[in-house]
Amino acid sequence: MCRSIKTLREPFTPQVTDTDIEAAALQYVRKISGFRAPAAHNAAAFDAAVAAVAEATRTLLDQLVVRGAGAADRPAAAQGRG
């Protein structure tokens, strides 16, 4: 995997923004597709893939439980609230 990919999971990043998630999704789709920017006839598929990867990333980060993290740092679902 590319060394320039930013780690978004705690404890490495305490606050993950939508911008971080969408940038990571875009980077992933670019890497997988082989295109930095899609041709006009592929733009819808490219954009849909970025949105799907971003949503999957949000779901993953929301569900991860980091051992040793304080209860206040864990997602609500991991604390039994959610």
Mean pLDDT, residues 64-81: 60
Q: What is the pLDDT of residues 43-64, one digit of tens each?
A: 999 999 999 999 999 999 889 8
Question: What would you report as the CA-atom Rg of the chain, rounded to the nearest whole angstrom?
Answer: 15
CA distance 22 to 54: 6
Question: 71: alpha, beta or left, given left = phi > 0 and alpha = psi -120 to 50?
Answer: alpha
pLDDT at 69: 63
Angle at 16 (CA atoms; ends 59, 72), nearest 5 degrees: 85
Residue 57 CB neighbours (<10 A): 19
